[in-house]
């Protein structure tokens, strides 16, 4: 495989030749050895190889895929720039292989009116990064959960969906109105399903680990009950508003996925995403285990798998890391299509907010740069096919957003792709992360799939020479 030296971030990928890599094209449902040429930022030629030319090329080496889309990331600007800015967030995205990122509106001020949305877009433009930022508008004014935000104005300004993420839309009447109104505007409502009356002060998934560690339990039922409510309301709203669409984000439990599976079988317009950490990690990590979910036994004390100190605050997240069975259910849901997409829920935090007692630490994992690595671990373990995994990061999110699928490798289209080496393991260090958020539980771990090149919209977004 050869890659012609590319220019610096933001510049047009003038001339790029990738030969003899494993090309994964989920839109075409196809993967295999191929050559690729990019000229002046556009796809010039894609040649699938066969016979002798394809010799020795397999899915274990260099892989070319469409650029990933992250349906759920927190860029913290405006208001919390010490944790992350749009610029650092986009750099982190490019490092992680993401060429499109959907930013959540829980900024300060929140994105509850177009001016803030335009601020974020301006910050993206000023950063010089070619990675595309799409912005969610808030559902409620001030994200207070009482009145609707200026949904129409936000949609006109380009909001790609509405969400109060960080929080659910707890008021059922408001949720119902928002679902209908957003449906009218042709934009999905993205809900963070959580029944807050069951999670007051909750610290960790309710289960064996929380019991032993003396942490306040976060019941799976808190998510399941909210999902059930959301789906019940959706079923009624679609009768009046057939274009209503609901997307449930960061689903983490078997019970929730069962409800979603049945709703889809009933043809309800619902989609959902799952985070990489809910696929690969479990609550056993809080006890000090470092087993991947497919290795974990359910009792780290019995298994003798505790290798690290307990109460690592980088593991505190909403929804919490769940028990083994839930993580396995998440992997199954991705495989069978119940889950449409993988979204990172990238949540950077400052050391001040995380380097404290567990019960006082902020929720969130800085995960956009380690997402690919975790997913490849699952693929390596046979829990997911490579094609399905890449699909969940590309065509899956595009479908959720309702975007017409631009075929990533069609000749003449702008190049929006990434190149990574599956066999190249890289060590996750705080200094290696482009994000300001160093709150990753994977620091010190080695992950597969070092990203070598990210091209977004025909322009350089990340290349290893830059480091």
Partner 1 sequence: MSLAVPDEVGSALGTVVPSVEAAPETQSTGWRHRHLLDLDVVTWPEIELVMRTTDAMREVLGRPIPRVPALRGKSVTLLFYEASTRTRVSFEVAAKNLSADVVNIAVASSSVSKGESLVDTVRTVEALGADMLVMRHAVSGAPYLAARTFAGSVLNGGDGWHAHPTQALLDLYTMREHLPGGSVAGRKVVILGDILHSRVARSNIWALTAAGAELWLCGPATLLRGFEAWAAAGGAAGRRFTVTSSIDDALRDADVVMALRIQRERMAGGLLPSLREYTARFGLTRERLELAKSGALVMHPGPLNEGVEIAPDVASGPNSVITEQVTNGVAVRMAMLYLLAGAQAGGVASEESLR
Contacts to partner 1 by CB under 8 A? 203, 206-208, 210-215, 217, 288, 298-299, 301-302, 309-311, 352, 355-360
Q: Which is nearer to partner 1, 301 or 426 (CB)?
A: 301
Q: Which is nearer to partner 1, 48 or 358 (CB)?
A: 358
Q: Which is nearer to partner 1, 210 or 244 (CB)?
A: 210
CB of 208 to partner 1, least distance (A): 5
How many other CB atoms are found less than 10 A from the CB of residue 143?
23
CB of 352 to partner 1, least distance (A): 8
Nearest to 424 by CA among 369, 367, 373, 371: 373
Q: Which is nearer to partner 1, 29 or 357 (CB)?
A: 357
CB of 431 to partner 1, least distance (A): 19
CB of 350 to partner 1, least distance (A): 12
Q: Which is nearer to partner 1, 124 or 323 (CB)?
A: 323
Is there a catalytic annotation at residue 291? Answer: no
Beta-bridge partner residues of 459? 12, 456
CB of 312 to partner 1, least distance (A): 9
CB of 329 to partner 1, least distance (A): 18
Tell me the C-alpha distance between 207 and 205, whole Å.
6
Token duo for residue 282: 């479990």
How many other CB atoms are found less than 10 A from the CB of residue 183?
22
Catalytic residue among 345, 353, 416, 421: 345
Q: Which is nearer to partner 1, 265 or 357 (CB)?
A: 357
Count of residues in the chain: 467
| Active site members | 345
């Amino acid at each position: 495989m050869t890659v012609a030296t590319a220019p610096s971030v933001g510049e047009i990928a003038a001339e790029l030749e990738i030969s003899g890599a494993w090309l994964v094209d989920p839109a075409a449902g196809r993967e295999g050895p191929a050559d690729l040429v990019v000229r002046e930022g556009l796809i010039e030629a894609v040649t699938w190889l066969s016979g002798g030319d394809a010799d020795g090329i397999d899915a274990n080496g260099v892989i070319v895929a469409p650029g990933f889309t992250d349906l759920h990331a927190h860029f913290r600007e405006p208001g919390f720039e010490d944790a992350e800015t749009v610029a650092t967030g986009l750099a982190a995205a490019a490092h992680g292989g993401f060429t499109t990122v959907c930013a959540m509106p829980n900024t300060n001020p929140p994105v509850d009116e177009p001016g803030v949305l335009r601020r974020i877009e301006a910050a993206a433009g000023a950063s010089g990064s070619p990675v595309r930022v799409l912005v969610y508008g808030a559902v409620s004014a001030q994200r207070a959960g009482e009145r609707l935000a200026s949904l129409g104005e936000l949609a006109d300004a380009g909001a790609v969906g509405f969400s109060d993420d960080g929080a659910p839309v707890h008021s059922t009447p408001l949720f119902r109105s928002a679902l209908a109104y957003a449906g009218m505007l042709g934009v999905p409502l993205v809900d963070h399903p959580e029944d807050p009356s069951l999670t007051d002060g909750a610290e960790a998934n309710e289960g064996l680990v929380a019991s032993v560690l003396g942490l306040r339990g976060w019941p799976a039922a808190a998510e399941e009950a909210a999902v059930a409510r959301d789906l019940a309301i959706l079923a009624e709203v679609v009768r009046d508003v057939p274009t209503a669409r609901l997307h449930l984000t960061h689903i983490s439990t078997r019970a929730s996925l069962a409800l979603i599976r049945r709703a889809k079988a009933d043809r309800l317009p619902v989609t959902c995403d799952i985070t990489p950490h809910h696929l690969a990690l479990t609550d056993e990590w809080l006890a000090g285990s470092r087993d991947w979910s497919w290795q974990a036994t359910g009792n780290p004390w019995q298994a003798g798998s505790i290798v690290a100190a307990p109460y690592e605050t980088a593991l505190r997240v909403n929804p919490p890391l769940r028990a083994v069975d839930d993580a396995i259910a998440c992997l199954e849901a991705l495989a069978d299509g119940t889950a449409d997409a993988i979204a990172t829920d990238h949540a950077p935090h400052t050391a001040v907010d995380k380097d404290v007692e567990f019960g006082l630490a902020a929720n969130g994992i800085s995960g956009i740069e380690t997402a690919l690595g975790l997913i490849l671990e699952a693929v390596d373990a046979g829990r997911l096919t490579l094609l399905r995994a890449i699909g969940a990061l590309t065509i899956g999110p595009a479908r959720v957003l309702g975007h017409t699928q631009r075929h990533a490798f069609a000749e003449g289209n702008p190049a929006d792709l990434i190149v990574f080496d599956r066999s190249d393991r890289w060590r996750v260090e705080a200094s290696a992360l482009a994000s300001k958020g160093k709150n990753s539980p994977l620091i010190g771990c080695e992950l597969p799939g070092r990203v070598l090149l990210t091209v977004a919209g025909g322009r350089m977004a990340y290349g290893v020479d830059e480091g």
